[in-house]
Amino acid sequence: MFLPPVPSIDGNGAEFRRAVRAAAALDTPYRARSFRGVTPPKERRIKLTIHYDGAGFYGWQTQPEVRTVQSVLESAISRLTNRSTTVVAAGRTDRGVHATGQVVSALVPWKWTAGELRRALNAILPDDVWVAESVEVPLEFHARFDAVARSYIYRVGTTEGARSPFRRRWCWALCEPLDRGILEAGAATILGDHSFRAFAKAGQEERGDRCTVYRAEWVEWDGVGVELRITANRFLHHMVRYLVGTMVDAARGRRPPEDLAALLEGAAGLETSPPAPPEGLFLTHVAYSLDELEGEERFDEDLP
């Protein structure tokens, strides 16, 4: 910084004092800028991964006079933060559907770190909801619109073992043999980009009906049945349950296996089978980059 020349202290005293005051005046703005305080942010956005047993809920979304996952979670967060708080979920689950990988986000006061919020929530949430993970994310993060893929598992019990009280509340206890070849062919049919209009509940015209299925396969489940593992960029309302109901009916010999492809092509006069019951369905993972899908198998380990 340029300073005016300062005369010797042995010179005129008044001139010396004027020069010092001039130098101080020039330096004041610089010093003020250098020590200006930084205003800390007032809020954090926290991303929560939650588990819930859907048996005790009327689905995810808040509804008047019934118990939902959203209302229970929002009530708990609002209680901790001492203010009304809304959470945004990656997707809505229906009444009776479970989750081991639902993702939600919420804005909370800055004093709440991700770890502290998780510990406090798990101390006051009911036994059928649990926060598995809590991380801070950018304020602009959106749990629904930033998601690139979602994964579900649907379990069908094909043996009497599925009627065990430790299994039946988390599966479709069909207790009938199924043709695995037909199931596997059905899963292969739905891979890729298709219109799933036939496999969706009515009333979703504004959303469109095309989905891209990245993964669909039937695998053995715990020696008592089979499970469909399916991942797609998005799912329509009841889509997985209609797919399972239709594939299972074909595997039971109740309809031609070719119906699945015909339904995807929009064949006139052809309808899906009734949707599979909700208790067999789990939302297991929400991915926010396609790289996450490579390690997806680890998320299946959390199922009961």
At 286 the three-state DSSP class reads strand
Taking the C-alpha atoms of residue 289 and residue 286, their distance in angstroms, rounded to an integer, is 9
Residues 173-192, mean pLDDT to the nearest whole number: 97
pLDDT of residue 100: 97
pLDDT of residue 291: 82
Task: Name 108's Cβ contacts closer than 8 Å, sequence gap at least 6.
Answer: 43, 44, 45, 46, 77, 80, 81, 85, 117
CB of 292 closer than 8 Å to CB of 221 = no
Give tens-digit pLDDT for 5-38: 444 444 445 554 554 455 444 444 434 444 455 5
Q: Is 291 a catalytic residue?
A: no
pLDDT of residue 245: 98
pLDDT at residue 74 tops 70: yes
Other CB atoms within a 10 A radius of the CB of residue 126 amount to 12
Taking the C-alpha atoms of residue 206 and residue 208, their distance in angstroms, rounded to an integer, is 6
Q: What residue spans define the domains of the chain? A: 43-137, 149-290
Weakest mean pLDDT among 7-21, 71-85, 288-302: 7-21
Angle (CA) 133-137-142 rounded to 5° is 100
Residues 51-64, mean pLDDT to the nearest whole number: 96
Give tens-digit pLDDT for 205-226: 667 899 999 999 999 999 999 9
Helix (H) or strand (E) holding 246: helix 239-251
Token code pair at residue 19: 């020069």
Question: Which one-letter amino acid corresponds to residue 187?
Answer: A
In the chain, the largest separation of any two C-alpha atoms, in whole Å, equals 112
Weakest mean pLDDT among 19-28, 82-91, 186-195, 272-281: 19-28
Whole-number percent of the chain with pLDDT over 90: 78
pLDDT at residue 150 tops 80: yes
**Fold category of 43-137 in CATH:** Alpha-Beta Plaits (3.30.70)
Q: Which of 94, 127, 146, 209 is catalytic?
A: 94
pLDDT of residue 32: 42
- CATH, domain range 149-290: 3.30.70.660
Residues 103-118, mean pLDDT to the nearest whole number: 97
Handedness of CA 129, 132, 138, 143 (dihedral sign): negative
Say whether 149-290 and 43-137 share the same fold: yes
Helix (H) or strand (E) holding 251: helix 239-251
For the chain, how big is the Rg over CA atoms in Å?
Answer: 29
Task: Name 146's Cβ contacts closer than 8 Å, sequence gap at least 6.
Answer: 288
For residue 132, how many C-alpha atoms fall within 13 Å in the half-sphere facing its CB? 17
pLDDT at residue 69 tops 50: yes
Residues 251-265, mean pLDDT to the nearest whole number: 97
pTM of this structure: 0.83
More confident residue, 294 or 267: 267
Arithmetic mean of pLDDT over the chain: 88
